[in-house]
Amino acid sequence: MICRSLPALLAGLLLLSVGGCRNDRPELTPVSGRVTRNGGPVVGARVYFKPSGLPGAAGMTDEQGRYELTFAGEHAGTPPGKTTISVYASPPASDPRVQGEGLLLIHQETRMVDAETREINLAL
């Protein structure tokens, strides 16, 4: 009786150990790049990468318009796949499209991000 249940017990333990080590974070591809408009850097823009069916990643441009994506606020990169890229910026207060202190969507496109993707530059 013990010999018959031993394989089932071992299979159950194997499933539990695999399930217990499961990482809920998707595979990430480190992506950085530069956002420019008319050849100059777009400073202080928020860049969002949103893959289909997965949580997205975000970054903010620096003084040179460069960004690096972070997933869940602490992991470098973005999940690979068909991705909607959105860039938001703080427009001048005089812009009639702005209400309150909101950000303005200034660019959006769809691209494929794969394991080989390392840099995505956006010329607006």
Q: Give yes or no for residue 70 having a pLDDT over 60.
A: yes
Topology of domain 32-123 in CATH is Immunoglobulin-like (2.60.40)
38-50 mean pLDDT: 95
Whole-prediction pTM:
0.75
What per-residue confidence (pLDDT) applies to 101? 56
Q: Residue ranges per domain, the chain?
A: 32-123
110-119: average pLDDT: 94
Which SS3 state, helix, strand or coil, does residue 10 take? helix
| For range 27-47, the mean pLDDT | 95
Does the pLDDT value for residue 6 go beyond 90?
no
Percent of the chain with pLDDT over 70: 73
* DSSP, res 85: E
Q: Is residue 120 pLDDT above 60, yes or no?
A: yes
Bridge partners, residue 81, by sequence = 113
